[in-house]
Amino acid sequence: MRLLVIGAVALDRPVRLAGPLKPGARLAAASLGDALEGRLGGGGAAAAVALRAAGCEVALVSVIAGDADGDHALELVARSGADLRLVVRRPGESRTTLILIDPDGERTIIGLGARPAALPPLPPPDAAFDGVLVRSPYPGAEAWAAAARGPVVVHWPAPTYPGPADVVVASADDLAPEVLADPWRAAAAQVGERLEWMVVTRGGDGAIAFGRQRHVRARAPAAEVVDSTGAGDVFAAGLLAALAGGAPIEKALATACTWGAATVALDSSAPTDAPPETFRL
């Protein structure tokens, strides 16, 4: 099974806090972790690493600054065995990403530095993949999705991505009440009525897949939350891999919940140190 992931690769600088974030708080850092050197992060990297651990053949498309941080991030993701030949390097410097992790494992992401005014387009498709995950809607992502011979899974909200998509994934925390009132219809209005499922994740409460006429619910396995960074990206990766392998939505949703729960138990942004057989299909 040959899968394509379109998404960010970055260095995350984690800071583990001694207490929860709240207005007016003065917080000490319980640990700087890998804050100085940086650890592998980015939604594309997290998804690709999990898919490689599951034994999938994975190509990664990303747009990465051509500086030392970009070089280091690519070196780290290359260790997973992902194919990086489609990565595009851009001029300028990498943004600095701070990950503030509270004692309950919840994270707050702070991006330092200006976003690039414009990103270079992705190369045009030169192959068809068995499934595509669009984590970051870079210019040209829709062409790769249209060329897929299997399911296309898209993270949402992605206001610049017009489709196509078979499945859209979003966290309930990111959705407005009017979207939650009719998730499938709201997503289909953006990406087209090819859409089969709008999957809404609810953290430890699992996820619900909303279709045109029915919905499917899956519970998340119990997990001790160490660091929730990257869990949504790995959830989407598990969903894509299961669907591309022919699983029905019920099994695919259960697989995705299992992968997401396994990820929150890891002290990482991308599951580079996951125990063997953490991600199964």
Which parts of the chain sit beneath pLDDT 70? 31, 33-35
Q: What angle do CA 41, 85, 55 make, to 5 degrees?
A: 65
β pairing state of 207-210 and 57-61: unpaired
Residue 35's pLDDT is what?
Answer: 66
Q: Which residues contact 151 (CB under 8 A, 6 or more apart)?
A: 131, 132, 166, 167, 240, 243, 244
Cβ atoms of 196 and 9 within 8 Å: the answer is no
Residue 1's pLDDT is what?
Answer: 93
How far is 204 from 221, CA to CA, in rounded Å? 8
Q: Is position 274 within any domain?
A: no
In this structure, what CATH number is given to the domain that contains residue 89?
Answer: 3.40.1190.20
Buried b (16+ CB within 10 A) or exposed e, 200-235: bbebeebbbbbeeeeebebebeebebbbbbbbbbbb
Q: Is position 272 within any domain?
A: no
Q: Is position 134 within any domain?
A: yes
Residue 160 burial (C-beta neighbours within 10 Å; 0-12, 13-18, 19+): exposed
Residue 258's pLDDT is what?
Answer: 97
Residue 34's pLDDT is what?
Answer: 67
Tokens read off for 41: 């992060």
The SS3 assignment for 97 reads strand
How far is 247 from 203, CA to CA, in rounded Å? 22
Tokens read off for 135: 């984590």
Domain count, the chain: 1
Q: Which residues contact 106 (CB under 8 A, 6 or more apart)?
A: 20, 225, 228
Q: Is position 245 within any domain?
A: yes
Q: Is position 170 within any domain?
A: yes
pTM for the predicted model, two decimal places: 0.94
Q: Which helix (H) or strand (E) holds 109?
A: strand 107-112
Cβ atoms of 161 and 141 within 8 Å: the answer is yes
Residue range(s) defining the domain that contains residue 68: 2-264
Q: Is position 278 within any domain?
A: no
